[in-house]
Amino acid sequence: MINEMLQKLNAPSPLEITGERVATKEEWEKVRPLVLKSMLENEYGYMPQEPASVTFEETFFDDRRYCAGKAIFIKLNITAELNGEKFTFPVTYVYPKKGKKHKTIVHINFRDNVPDEYMPTEEIIDSGFACASFCYKDVTSDDGDFTNGLAGVIYRGKERTPFSCGKIAMWAWAAMRVMDYLQTKEEVDKECIAVAGHSRLGKTALLTAAVDTRFACAHSNCAGCSGDALNRGKTEGNEFIGHIVKNFPFWFCEKYKEYADKDNETPFEQHFMHALIAPRKVHVASAEKDIWAAPPQQFLACVAADEVYRLYGKKGFIYEEDDFLKAGKYLNDGNIGFCYREGTHYFSRDDWHGLMDFLNKD
């Protein structure tokens, strides 16, 4: 039933981007750059350039009282040099005192609070994870102003081209700089660093891991349209490309506007992002009442990406027919995980526990 639902959508496959179907992982790795190029040119825009240098200044250190003395709390500034200018943004990093190496989550957050309504820090610590978080607006504003923060350093007052980066690519670039910092920390398990975000920042998390292979996993929380949900097959009540490019054109490159009202005709699909992360992990969280995000299309995107993982001999998306949109069950046994819960558009504790369960799987 589920595969039939997907087949009816007639979605393009990343394995067929050249017109001939890829059959091995070696062939896939040759065409993977073309798939990434397509997603950048058509949706997100080219990534900001690599910085000439990155430095880290720890401005606050607490090893006595945070989380009842169970955790070490650090505030820091990350400074990157690009286009001959320096750009600085703040980050908060918390890790457990117990244990030698910690699986770590980079959380691209809507606020700079620690803990936050979207980030139950003590529960994360108690589960043995570290968390480095930053507020996305400390990187650049969430609007059409391309003169402030990182946007101002990149554009320098110049007009955007059809393929110039939007705000999502800038927030993803900042998450990569947090990864630069984590590479310097002895207590971090470098083999298990995930990036996580909710809604527009879930889209950002997918792009981050697709571009930066140092990330072992991307967690996309209720990202929906232009994120973790297929464009094709949406119904009334779902968000379409036309909605998102009208309301938030600055998240994407200018070319993406061409696909307004063409959701069923795009030459790419959102599961291309999942595929670009293979054979690493992708985790998607979806909510029963988050109709705007199109939960059926979120589930089917995971199904569609499975074929790339199979090329690597990896378990992709593991599910049974009656698992389709079954609230309260973790589908975390493959390298693509899916958690569907009751409730609305929100980054909940259930989502965090689903992610941590997924990261603890072998």
Confidence at residue 170, expressed as pLDDT on a 0 to 100 scale: 98
Type of residue found at 114: V
Confidence at residue 208, expressed as pLDDT on a 0 to 100 scale: 99
Q: Is the pLDDT of residue 165 over 90?
A: yes
Query: CB within 8 A of 241, min separation 6: which ones?
Result: 225, 226, 231, 256, 259, 260, 261, 262, 263, 266
Neighbours of 26 (CB within 10 A): 9
In degrees, to the nearest 5, what angle opens at C-alpha 203 toward C-alphas 355 and 38? 125
Structure tokens at 123: 């529960």
Please state the domain extents for the chain.
2-359
CB 145 within 8 A of CB 167: no
Q: Is the pLDDT of residue 362 over 80?
A: no
| Token pair 């470098």 in the structure block, residue | 190
Query: CB within 8 A of 57, min separation 6: which ones?
Result: 76, 77, 79
Q: Is the pLDDT of residue 360 over 90?
A: yes
Radius of gyration in angstroms for the set of CA atoms belonging to the chain, rounded to a whole number: 19
Confidence at residue 241, expressed as pLDDT on a 0 to 100 scale: 98
Residue 100: exposed, middle, or buried by beta-carbon count in 10 A (0-12, 13-18, 19+)?
exposed
- The residues carrying an active-site annotation are 199, 345
How confident is the model over 64-90, as pLDDT tens digits? Answer: 999 999 999 999 999 999 999 999 999
Q: Is the pLDDT of residue 2 over 90?
A: yes
Task: Please state which architecture CATH assigns to domain 2-359.
Answer: 3-Layer(aba) Sandwich (3.40)
pLDDT band at 309 (very low <50, low <70, confident <90, very high): very high
| pLDDT cut 70: percent of the chain above it | 100
CB 96 within 8 A of CB 70: yes
Confidence at residue 157, expressed as pLDDT on a 0 to 100 scale: 87
User: Region 296-305: what's the mean pLDDT?
Assistant: 98
Q: What pTM value is reported for the model?
A: 0.98
Q: How many CA atoms lie within 13 A of 71 on its CB side?
A: 24
Query: Which DSSP string do the residues of 103-152 spell out, in sequence order?
Result: EEEEEEESS--SSBTTB-HHHHHHTT-EEEEEEGGGTS-SSS--SSHHHH
3-state secondary structure of 249: helix
How confident is the model over 39-55, as pLDDT tens digits? Answer: 999 999 999 999 999 99
Q: For the chain, what is the mean pLDDT?
A: 97
Q: Is the dihedral of CA 200, 203, 117, 299 positive or negative?
A: positive
How confident is the model over 251-297, as pLDDT tens digits? Answer: 999 999 999 999 999 999 999 999 999 999 999 999 999 999 999 99
Q: Is the dihedral of CA 38, 39, 44, 50 positive or negative?
A: negative
Confidence at residue 225, expressed as pLDDT on a 0 to 100 scale: 98
CA distance 340 to 117: 19
Query: CB within 8 A of 307, min separation 6: which ones?
Result: 13, 15, 316
| Token pair 């599961």 in the structure block, residue | 271
Confidence at residue 233, expressed as pLDDT on a 0 to 100 scale: 98
User: Region 294-305: what's the mean pLDDT?
Assistant: 98
